[in-house]
Structure 1
Amino acid sequence: MSTAYIQDWLAGGFVGSEKVLAEMLATRSGPIYTLVHRPQDFVGTPLEGAEVHTSAIQRWPGGVSHYRTYLPFMPYQIEQFDLTAYDTIVSSSHAVAKGVLVGAGQLHLSYVHSPMRYAWDLYQQYLREADLTRGVKATLAKVALHYIRVWDQSTANRVDVFLANSEYVARRVWRTYRRPARVLYPPVDVARFDHTRPREDFYLTMSRFVPYKRLDLIVETFTRLRLPLVVIGNGPDFDKVRALAGPTVQLLGRQDDAVVADHMSRCRAFVFAADEDFGIVPVEAQAAGAPVIAYGKGGSLETVRPGVTGVFFGQQTTQSLERAIGVFEGQARDFDAAVIRRHAETFRPERFREAFQTILTAAEEARQRGQDPERAVMALP
C-alpha cells in the first residue's frame, strides 16, 4: 500500500522523533510531509536525501529558523497537504502533525510522542518561561493556545489508531483525546555503545539546555557535593547553568556521537532530572552499561529498573537528588554493566521495526475487511 509520513517539522537535528521517523521509513518507504525542513541538519543521517514536501511556512520570513513563532498558523498549514494519493497515512506528532486531513477510505495511524505539551499540561509553565503572564502579548498568546487546544482535540477524530511512545504518554492521550493508544517504545541504537570499558569516577549528564530538563538542579547539586560531573549539551539556558557550576563541574557543550558514546561508556553513572515522555538518552546510557540516577516520574519509570539499572529520586530538589546519589554510592558495586546492557537491548531498533510492521499490517487488514483498525491493533498480543 502507498504510504505517506507526516512530521511536525524537520529543523531541529536528528534526535528523538526524527529517529523514530527514520525507523518507520526503514520498515516501509514513503514521502515525508512536514511544515519546514532544514536539510543541513540531516547530513550523514538516514533522513539525508529523503523525499520531503514542505508547507508555505518554509517560504515565510524566518520560517525555517524561527518556525515556532508561526505556531498559530500551523493547524491551518498542516491541513493544506494533499494526501489523497495515499492509502495509509502515518503521522509522527508532538504538535500538529496528527491533524492532517484524511479521506474516508484512508487509514491514519498517529505515533504520538506527546500531546502538545505547551498547549496542555505545560501550559502555565510555558507562559511563565516566555514571560507571557500579563499584558497584551500574554492575552493574545492565551487566546491562540485556547483555539489550538480546541483544534487539537477536535482532530483526534481524524486518527484511526493512536500509538504512544510510553505508557505515560498513552495515559495523557486518553486524558486529552479520550482515545486508547497502543504503546510502541521508540528505537534506541544500542549497538553503538560499549558496556565493557572500566568505569571512571565522573558522573555524566546530557541534554538540551532548556528549563524542564532541570540541568540547573543537577549542576547545583554536584557543585554542593563537590563531586565530578561532566555535562554535554547546549541550548538557551547554557549561560544560566554555567553560572551555577563549581570547579568539579565540566561543561563540554554540544558533542558528536563518538564523544557521547565514549563518555557514557566510562562514566560512574548517568544523571537525569527531567519529567520526560520517554527519554531516549537514559536508555542510551544503559546501553553503555551505565547505571542511571533518574527523577522518578514520566518515562523513566518505564526505562529504568530500580536496584538493577539505576535508582530514582522522588522530587526535583537538590536534597532529593543528594539522597539518591548517596543511595547509589552505597549500591554502586552491585550494578552489573552486562545486566544493564541486556535491559537496554529490549529497546533496540529491530524490535521497533518488527512491532511497527505488525501494527501496520493489522490495521490495514482490518480496514480492508471493513473492521475497526483501532480494535485490531489494541487486540494484538
Structure 2
Amino acid sequence: MKVAIVHEWLDTYAGSERVLEQLLLAWPEADLFAVCDFLPEAERGFLGGRRPRTTFIQRLPFARTQFRKYLSLMPLAVEQIDLSGYDLVLSSSHAVAKGVLTGPGQLHVSYIHSPMRYAWDLQHQYLRESGSERGLKGAIARWMLHRLRIWDRASAAGVDVLVANSSYIAERIRKVWRRESVVIHPPVAVHRFTLRRDKQDYYLVASRMVPYKRVELVTAAFRRMPGRKLVVIGDGPNMKAVRDAAGGAANITFLGRVSQPELIDRMQGARAALHAAEEDFGIAIVEAQACGTPMIAYGRGGALDIVRAPPANQPTGVFFAEQTPESIIAAVEQFEGLAEAITPEACRANAMRFGEAVFRDAMKALVARELGAR
C-alpha cells in the first residue's frame, strides 16, 4: 500500500508538527508533501531525514518569510499535488491541506486541527487586527475570505473521513462543513512529565502572554485573594495588561520565561494550575495533569475533553463558567473545598489517555477499519 502524508506548511516545530511526527512514526513508509517547507535545519529531526515535496508557493518572491500572505493561492497550490499513485492519503489540516484531490479508489483521512477560523467565525477579528476593515484593501480581503469559505466547504466534501482533535472542533466541523467527524485527541509527550505528590502552597499559570489566553483575568482574581499565592510563567505582547491586572500584589510572583526543566518543576509543585483560555484542545492542560497537578480551567473548548470535574468519578479539577475574575475566585474556592478528593494519581492517569502511542494506535485502527470496510 502506497501512503502519502500531506502537511500544511513547515516553518517551525509546534503543535501540528507534533501530529505530523506521530503520523510519520505510524506510517514510516509514507511520502511527505507540504505547501512549502522553510523549516530550520535544527528543527528537522522529527522528519527522519525526509524532504517534503512542495508546491509553487515555495518558489514565489519573499515566500521564506511571507508565505502566509499567499493564502489565497494555496487552494490552487494544494490541488496541484499529484497523489494519483497512492492508496492512502493522510492530511493534517488547519487551512488547506485537506483540499488535495483524490479519486474514488483512494482513502483520504484528514486530521482537522480546526476549520479556518479567520475565514469563518473570526473573520471580523482578522480584518480588524490586519487593518483591513475599510477601503480597497478591506474589500479585497472580504472577497478573498468569501472565496476561501466556498472552497473550504467544497473541499471538505471530498474527504472520506474527517478526524477532529476534540469534541469542540467536531462541533465546529458540524457547524461550518455540515459533516460528522471522529474525535481523536492530539498526541502529548506525557512521558516527559513525572508525577509529584508533594504539592506546595502556590497556584500556577504558565502561558504565552497573548490576549486570547486571558491571563490578566487570573492575576486580577488573585489580586483579590491576598492569602493565596500565584506564580506566573511566560511572556508576550499582553504582559503589560497581565501585570496591570495584578496591581503589584505581593502574593503574585512573575518569573517570565523559564527553562523547560524549571517549568516542569513548577508545574509538578503547584497546588493547582489555572487555564483561562477557550482552546481547540489544550496540550498544556494535559501536561499539568501528567505532573499530577489538578486543573482549574475555563469550562469551554477542548478543556471539557480533558479535565474530569465533579461529579465525575476520580475528578482531576474544576471548571469556571465565565471568563471573569469573580468566576475564577469561585472556582478556586470550590477546588479548595474538595481538594482532598482530587489526587495526583488520578490526574496522572487521566493524562495518560492522551499519550503519543495512544494517538498512533487510534489513527492506525481508524484507517484499518475504513480500509476493511471498502
1:115 is aligned to 115
Residues 6/242 of structure 1: CA separation in 2 closer, same or farther (3 Å cut): farther
Aligned residues: 366
Counterpart AA for 2:36: V
2:26 is aligned to 27
1:321 is aligned to 328
1:343 is aligned to 350
1:208 is aligned to 208
Secondary structure of 2:70's aligned partner: helix
2:238 is aligned to 237
1:370 is aligned to none
- Give TM-score, length-normalised by structure 1: 0.88
Residues 81/256 of structure 1: CA separation in 2 closer, same or farther (3 Å cut): farther
- Would the aligned equivalents of 1:39 and 1:48 in 2 still touch at CA under 8 Å? no
Aligned match for 2:306, one of 299, 303, 307: 303
Post-superposition Cα deviations, 1:179-201, rounded to whole Å, max 9, x if no partner, equal 21111111222111121252122
Post-superposition Cα deviations, 1:189-216, rounded to whole Å, max 9, x if no partner, equal 2111121252122322233333222223
Q: Provide the rounded CA distance (Å) in 1 between the counterparts of 2:295 and 2:333.
A: 13
Secondary structure of 1:141's aligned partner: helix
- Give TM-score, length-normalised by structure 2: 0.89
Counterpart AA for 2:344: A
Map 1:181-330 → 2, pairs under 5 A: 181-226=181-226, 227-245=228-246, 246-247=248-249, 248-307=251-310, 308-330=315-337
Map 1:2-151 → 2, pairs under 5 A: 2-13=2-13, 15-29=14-28, 30-40=30-40, 43=43, 45-47=45-47, 49-151=49-151
RMSD: 2.3
Structure 1: runs of 5 or more not aligned: 368-381
1:375 is aligned to none
Q: Provide the rounded CA distance (Å) in 1 between the counterparts of 2:202 and 2:319.
A: 19
Q: Provide the rounded CA distance (Å) in 2 between the counterparts of 1:297 and 1:46.
A: 32
Shift of 1:240: 4.4
Post-superposition Cα deviations, 1:62-81, rounded to whole Å, max 9, x if no partner, equal 42333322222222222222
Counterpart AA for 2:230: L
Counterpart AA for 1:365: G
Aligned identity (percent) is 45
1:166 is aligned to 166
Secondary structure of 1:342's aligned partner: helix
Shift of 1:48: 5.5
Post-superposition Cα deviations, 1:12-67, rounded to whole Å, max 9, x if no partner, equal 32x32211111111111223222233332763752363332233333334423333
Q: Provide the rounded CA distance (Å) in 2 between the counterparts of 1:250 and 1:63.
A: 41
Post-superposition Cα deviations, 1:312-339, rounded to whole Å, max 9, x if no partner, equal 1111112211221222233333321011
- Structure 1, 19-28 or 248-257: larger mean CA deviation: 248-257
Q: Provide the rounded CA distance (Å) in 2 between the counterparts of 1:130 and 1:244.
A: 26
Q: Provide the rounded CA distance (Å) in 1 between the counterparts of 2:233 and 2:49.
A: 29
Post-superposition Cα deviations, 1:123-180, rounded to whole Å, max 9, x if no partner, equal 2333333343333322222221111111100101220111111122112212221221
Shift of 1:349: 1.8
Residues 290/26 of structure 1: CA separation in 2 closer, same or farther (3 Å cut): same
- Would the aligned equivalents of 1:113 and 1:169 in 2 still touch at CA under 8 Å? yes
Q: Provide the rounded CA distance (Å) in 2 between the counterparts of 1:231 and 1:53.
A: 42
Structure 2: runs of 5 or more not aligned: none
Shift of 1:224: 4.2
Residues 70/215 of structure 1: CA separation in 2 closer, same or farther (3 Å cut): farther
Secondary structure of 1:39's aligned partner: coil
